[in-house]
Amino acid sequence: MAEFLTPKADKTRVSKIPKTPINIPPSPFMKKLGFGTGVSVFRWDRSPRPDATRSPWAVKKLNKRDLPQFIEQRLQKEAELLKSLKHPNIVGFRACVPGKDGRMTLAMESCESSLADRIEDRRNDGMGPFESEVILKVALGVARGLDYLHREKKILHGDMKSYNILIKGNFDEIKICDFGVSMPLLPDGSVSDPDNFVGTSVWSPPEAVGLSDGPVSSQVDIFAFGLVLWEMIALQIPHTDDLDESDFEVSITEDELENRIGMMQIFLSSKSTRPALPPVDLNDSYNSIMEIFYCCTEQDPSVRPTAQLLVEWLEDLTGEKPMGKGGDEILVDH
């Protein structure tokens, strides 16, 4: 029998098919989800087509036209990087186009909420730590995303925290987002220019904030990963016990909040980088979670586990099947 060959696409024909223009509406016509340095994120509920419904997009836009150039460069870099990533635990790229106001806009897959939102809701409802099985599920999803970034794409996320972990449904999908300060990794797992590291200090390890001589490497993400587990137990931001609640008032302006965050980071950089456990009762089902937390938040980055080891550990704990390259599930014969 002759070998079957897939017919090659007619590139000349494909190039003649006009692309549907993407017309992202102005900010006032979208729901605001959050903001960062110089940018805001909105939910765009796209109008359905006659033949299909369309999923909502998350839209990241520059706040002003006269922002420092590095902020626009950061958004461009994030768009280019996100376009190259394809993994079920990484938020999906959708488009990068100028909005109707002329400002650069990055459109991404939309999720229902961030892990930080879920933590805040649980704290406001007066509930205790997340169930151990939920923490392990989030941990495995994030670890798989980090393993893909570190080993396959050679990328340091650089700002791992609950705000940059997105959740769909009842923790049905867990996705890492916000790659604006990501850095390329060298073959040994370190970054070539550690002085340009930009993270959030309360999630940063000692080597990243000048408290130790260790290299800035993929282990920065591992330390922050450990603090995310702590967040799901403590239901608060790490190292914020001594701060006044007014520092988190929602009525202040975005510029005021960013200034306060900057001042808090200067203060917090001198605090212990492994937060004390909150006074909550944890049953034996949390033992493995606490073991992972302690391993990931070791002061010495060389003794922290890799993302690959975390994935293997968590797959064993949860009974989840391993995933193949690019996130495809591997069927294992037992």
Digit-coded pLDDT (tens) for 119-155? 999 999 999 999 999 999 999 999 999 999 999 999 9
Q: Which residues are catalytic?
A: 159
Model-level pTM greater than 0.85?
no
CA 246 to chain CA centroid, Å, is: 26
Average pLDDT estimate for 190-213: 89
Average the pLDDT over 68-81 and give the result: 88
Q: H/E element holding 266?
A: helix 254-268
CA distance 37 to 40: 8
Classify the phi-psi angles of 184: left when phi > 0, otherwise alpha if psi is within -120 to 50, otherwise beta: beta
Q: Give the model's pLDDT for residue 282.
A: 95
Task: Provide DSSP, 203-244.
Answer: G--GGGTTSS----BTHHHHHHHHHHHHHHHH-S-TT-TTS-
pLDDT of residue 246 exceeding 50: no
State the CB neighbour count (10 A cutoff) for residue 277.
13
pLDDT computed for residue 61 by the predictor = 86
Nearest CA among 216, 86, 106 for reference residue 149:
86
Query: How far apart, in whole angstroms, are the C-alpha atoms of residue 150 and residue 112?
Result: 26
pLDDT tens-digit series, residues 162-177: 999 999 999 999 999 9
Q: Letter for the amino acid at 172? A: D
